Amino acid sequence: MAYEGIVIDLGGRNSDLEIEAESQIATHGHSDHIAGLFLDAKKKYLPPEDMWGVSLMGRRMAVYGFSCADSPLFTYDLIKEDLQATFSNPDVQILKTPGHTPGHTAYLVGDVLYAGDAFFGQRVLESFVFPFYVDFWRAMESLKLIKEESRSVEGIVISHGPVYEKRKMVELIDFNLKYGEKLVSYVKESLSDWVTSQQVVVRVMESLGKRKEEITPTSVIMNEKTALSIISGLRVEYQTTEEGVKYKISG
């Protein structure tokens, strides 16, 4: 998003664009959102809780939970080097929306709320199955906060999804909330017997229509974080086995 000298979340497919601005800010520290922090700008801002985003190893640890040099598993490393950045508050309203990352932040710029990765387009959700939330339950609370804030803005923009007028974006927020509830129900069903968190991921992805060949090692590793976050908020039993830690729904 670009607005009167402010650029938010330069990255992803636009990582190579040198869009100059007085302020370069990011909603969070994932590698597809921070390319702008490489550029010259009077003000740069990354939420302090996401300071791990300034190093390649920190970003890998946050996304994957581990780091190993040149591993082909790291398919989401769009920026493959460390960042050097200074930080200060830009002249925008900050709205803390943790869940996708610990420090995920939405920004109110003018009359538009830029929500970053606080929620996703329907196709994105159905493609990946699990939304990438390190804290699923806080993400749901952040979504409710964004819905409340939507009453006082003219537009809402997200990073991974369609550009709609406000009414349809509010409908998309509701879709994300209902999708989260559905995902919790599928996770509960998968915990009917003793399973590992990775088995939960595979079962849920299959239940939601993914074929065996579509369930890649990278997708399982990525989705396992959200699955574990969901599991941590449920009443479960757990035990250590030769196959790893296994969980089962209580009662």
Mean pLDDT for 163-177 is: 96
pLDDT given for residue 38 in this prediction: 86
- The two tokens of residue 205 are 């992805």
Measuring CA to CA, how many Å separate 74 from each of 12, 56, 157, 193, 222? 15, 11, 27, 32, 10
* Least confident stretch, 75-89, 155-169, 208-222: 75-89
Buried b (16+ CB within 10 A) or exposed e, 170-194: bebbebbeebbeebbebbbebbeee
Mean pLDDT for 88-100 is: 86
Residue 194 has pLDDT above 90, yes or no: yes
Mean pLDDT for 131-151 is: 96
Across the chain, mean pLDDT equals: 92
pLDDT given for residue 58 in this prediction: 87
Mean pLDDT for 202-223 is: 96
In tens, the pLDDT along 37-72 reads 888 888 889 999 998 888 888 888 877 888 887 788
Residue 89 has pLDDT above 70, yes or no: no
pLDDT interval class at 154 (50, 70, 90): very high
pLDDT given for residue 246 in this prediction: 98
pLDDT given for residue 242 in this prediction: 97
Residue 227 has pLDDT above 80, yes or no: yes
pLDDT given for residue 75 in this prediction: 83
Mean pLDDT for 65-92 is: 78
Q: What percent of the chain has pLDDT over 70?
A: 99
The model's pTM is 0.86
* More confident call, 174 vs 62: 174
